[in-house]
A and B are shown apart, each in its own frame.
Chain A
C-alpha cells in the first residue's frame, strides 16, 4: 500500500499551530506570494491571530469536511507550505487550496508533488468523485503544476480579478476519479 502522506519530494504533516503561524505570518508579507495564491487584497495578520485560526480549525476538530496539512520538503524536512481540502459530502467533490510560501522552493516540483498527494488522498481516502481548484491566469507556474498532477482546464471566468487596474481571468480546473484511475493504470508497472 502506498504511503498517502509521502511523495517523492514532499510529505504532508499535521499543522503545528505555533510554527505554522510564525511561517504563514512571514509568507504573508511577500505580496507576490499572496497575489499568486489568493484573490483577496493582501492583509497582514499577527502570528498570534493566525495561530488562533489554526487552533480553531484543529479543535473544530476533525470535521469530516475539512482537511488541512503542512507541506514539508523530504530532503531537509523544512516547512515550505500548506494545503487545505474541503470535501463536499453531498457530491463527493474536493476543493483544494495550496500555497508554497518558501520562495526558494518555487519552480522545483514541490507543489506538483504535493498536488499529486492531494489527488491521491482525495480519491483513495476521501472517496471523492472529482477534485476542483481555481487558479489565476497570471500564475502559469501553478497552472502547469496542476496539469502535471492531472487536472484539466474546465473554463475561465473572464476578467474576474483586478490587480493594479489590470483585469485577468480566473481559470477553473478539475480532475475526475476515472481520469485519475486511468493515469495510475498507465503509469504503474
Chain B
C-alpha cells in the first residue's frame, strides 16, 4: 500500500502551486528582463516580456494543459511566504511510450544555489514516475548550462545524446545534450536496497 498522506506538492522549503494571475505575471515579467535567466531556461532567443504578455502566455499554457493532456505545469513557491520563485513542468508526454521531458527554472539570481531546484526536481520526478506512471524522463540541456548538468547528474540522469553544434550563442556553436532517467534508476535512489 502507498502512503496516501504523503503530499506530492509539498517540499521542505518549496511547494508546487497553480498560477496566480494577479501576482505572478509581474514577477515572471521581471525574470524575462534578465538575459542570463532566459538563456538558461530556454533555447529560444532571450527576449523581455511585459506582464500583460506573460498573462496571455499563462492562458495559452492552461488551455494546452486542458486540451492536449501532454503537459503538466507547476509554479514553484517558497513555503514561508508563498512567493513565486520558479517553474517546473513535464512536457511533450507520449502516453503510449511512457516518456516525457522535464524542465525547471529558478527565476531570480538570489534564489539560485539554495537547494530550491533540487527540491523541485525531486518533487517533479516523483510526480512523473509515481503519479503519471511514466517510464522515462528526458532533459534537454545546452552544454553551457553547467548548473543544470550538475543537477541532472545528481539525480542519476545519464548523458545519452550530444547533438553537436545545435545552438548558437555569443558567436559560437554549442552542443545540446539530452539526459535521460529511467523509472527503475529513479526508484533505486528513492528506496536504496
Q: Which residues of A approach B to under 8 Å, CB–CB?
A: 39-41, 90-93, 129-130, 132, 154-162, 167, 172, 174, 176
Contacts and interface: CB of A to CB of B under 8 A. Distances in A.
B7 to A, nearest CB: 30
B71 to A, nearest CB: 17
A157 B166 contact: no
Interface string B7-43: 0000000000000000000000000000000000001
Given A39-B94, A90-B45, A162-B96, A157 B164 contact: no
Nearest to B177: A155
A41 B178 contact: no
A92 to B, nearest CB: 8
B165 interface: yes
B161 A162 contact: no
Contacts of A162: 96-98, 135
Contacts of B164: 130, 154, 174, 176
A157 B136 contact: yes
B103 interface: no
B178 A159 contact: no
B143 to A, nearest CB: 13
A129 B173 contact: yes
Nearest to A130: B165
Contact of B178 (A40, A90, A167, A172): A172
A154 B96 contact: no
Contacts of B166: 91, 93, 130, 132, 174
Contacts of B136: 157-160
A156 B182 CA distance: 13
A157 B160 contact: yes
Interface string B134-167: 0110100000000000000000001111111111
B98 A176 contact: no
Nearest to A169: B160
B1 to A, nearest CB: 27
B118 to A, nearest CB: 24
Contacts of B189: none
Q: In the A-B complex, list the 6 residue pairs whose CB atoms are closest, starting with the nearest.
A: A155-B161, A172-B161, A155-B160, A161-B97, A41-B96, A162-B97
A158 B98 CA distance: 12
B185 to A, nearest CB: 10
Nearest to B161: A155
A56 B121 CA distance: 40
A91 B168 contact: yes
A27 B135 CA distance: 30
Contacts of A156: 160-161
B96 A40 contact: yes
Contact of A132 (B138, B159, B163, B168): B163
Contacts of B167: 91
